[in-house]
Amino acid sequence: MDDAVKALLGDQAQVVARRQLRELGWDDNDVRRAVRRRDLTPLHPGVFVAHTGEPSWLQRAWGGVLLVWPAALAGRSALRADDGPGRRDSAEELIHVVVAAERNVSDRPGVCVHRSTRLDAIVRWNRSPPRVRYEEAVLDVVADRRSRQAVIDELTGGIQARRTTAVRLQHALKARPRMPDRRWLERLLGDLALGTHSVLEHGYLVNVERPHGLPRGDRQVRAAASGQRIFRDLLAGSLVIELDGRTHHDDAAAWEAAHDRDLDAAVDGLSTVRLTYGQVFDKACWTAARLGVLLRRAGWTGRATACGPECAVRQSA
């Protein structure tokens, strides 16, 4: 192969389209000769990979994009390209691509084709492979999620990984008038913009804090502990409320670090309460009643309010 073809293959994970080879001076005989020599292996009609054997996910992604070019990775595939092989959806077999809405392009084996009237506005053509912007990909995936908790998990995952922000997601949502469950999604992104960064933190906001009139406090408060910069989930007066959930139990080092943070907080004159998923989602009223007592001890002058006639806050008053 000449240097120009080698350079193109290097830029495209060893995947190339027939039309690109023609642009570099190859004719059909050159392509057939490269296939006979096994320098190129057909990946899709008119798309080749420069080796034999199983193509990698990245090569399949490039193959899908080149197969229906001009196109870009979309939805799960765009997130997979941005997040890397550790992403939860990395086992996804289909390559999702998006093309201009006016094109008459159908799904192909292994490639799911989506359409957009805003293709140039949402695609980052300079990425390798080209893909839709992270916010657009997240909203694509969210639109297919069946449960609200899965939606929260998807949105907060991107924000926690610093791939995007709640504000950028809000802007992307405004351009999608037909988004499923739109009103709830707008409220959720508003909550995330306030500083809730996980499913557990959002659950605390909507199940414990807000329905029971607890003080909002300050979220993601920067502090120093054991010589390191940390962020405390919620600080209300002298009470620190940490919403770490089970993840800290699953990692001995993280569990140890969490207790170091609690000890440092105590040195600073702060008390720490750690809440679990069960306390936030299954026993929200019971948790609110007890937090109301602790918050008053920490300097809060208000009182927790009952969310209904059977609320544990009313029963403990």
For residue 146, what are the domain limits?
Answer: 142-194
- List, as one string, the DSSP characters of the chain: --HHHHHHHHHTTTEEEHHHHHHTT--HHHHHHHHHTTSSEEEETTEEESSSSPPPHHHHHHHHHHHTSS-EE-HHHHHHHHH-TTSGGGG--SEEEEEETT-----BTTEEEEEETTHHHHEETTSSS-EE-HHHHHHHHHHH-SSHHHHHHHHHHHHHTTS--HHHHHHHHHT-TT-TTHHHHHHHHHHHHHT--SHHHHHIIIIIITTTT----EEEEEEEETTEEEEEEEEETTEEEE--GGGGTT-HHHHHHHHHHHHHHHHTT-EEEE--HIIIIISHHHHHHHHHHHHHHTT--S----SSTT-HHHHH-
Summary mean pLDDT of the chain: 88
Residue 210's pLDDT is: 94
pLDDT bucket at 248, cuts 50 / 70 / 90? very low
217 with 312, same domain: the answer is yes
60-101 tens-digit pLDDT: 999 999 999 999 999 999 999 998 766 555 556 899 999 999
**Would 121 be classed as within a structural domain?**
no
Residue 89's pLDDT is: 53
185-206 tens-digit pLDDT: 998 898 888 777 677 888 899 9
**Would 134 be classed as within a structural domain?**
no
pLDDT bucket at 58, cuts 50 / 70 / 90? very high
14 with 38, same domain: the answer is yes
**Would 21 be classed as within a structural domain?**
yes
Is residue 62 packed enough to be buried (19+ CB in 10 Å), middle (13-18) or exposed (0-12)?
buried
Query: Is residue 249 predicted with pLDDT exceeding 50?
Result: no
186 with 227, same domain: the answer is no
Domain edge (last residue) among 16, 38, 59 = 59
Domain edge (last residue) among 43, 59, 75 = 59
Q: How many domains does the chain have?
A: 3
